Amino acid sequence: MTCKRGALIVLEGVDKAGKTTQCNRLVQALQQSGRPAELMRFPERTTTIGQLISSYLQKKSDLEDHTVHLLFSANRWELAPLMKKKLEQGTTLVVDRYSFSGVAFTSAKPGFSVDWCKQPEVGLPKPDLVMFLKLSPAEAALRGQYGQERYETSIFQLAVQEKFDQLMDDPTVNWQVIDASRDVENVSSDITKRSLDIIEAVQRRPLGELWK
User: How confident is the model over 175-189, as a mean pLDDT?
Assistant: 96
At 11 the pLDDT is: 98
pLDDT tens-digit map of 100-129: 999 999 999 999 999 999 999 999 999 999
Residue 16 binned pLDDT confidence (cut-offs 50, 70, 90): confident
Share of the chain above pLDDT 70, in %: 92
At 10 the pLDDT is: 98
Residue 126 to residue 10: CA distance in whole angstroms: 10
pTM here is 0.93
For helices 65-88 and 99-107, what crossing angle results, to 10°? 170
Residue type, 168: M
Starting from the edge strand earliest in sequence, which strands make up the sheet with 175-179, in order? 37-41, 92-96, 8-13, 129-134, 175-179
**Average pLDDT score over the chain:** 92
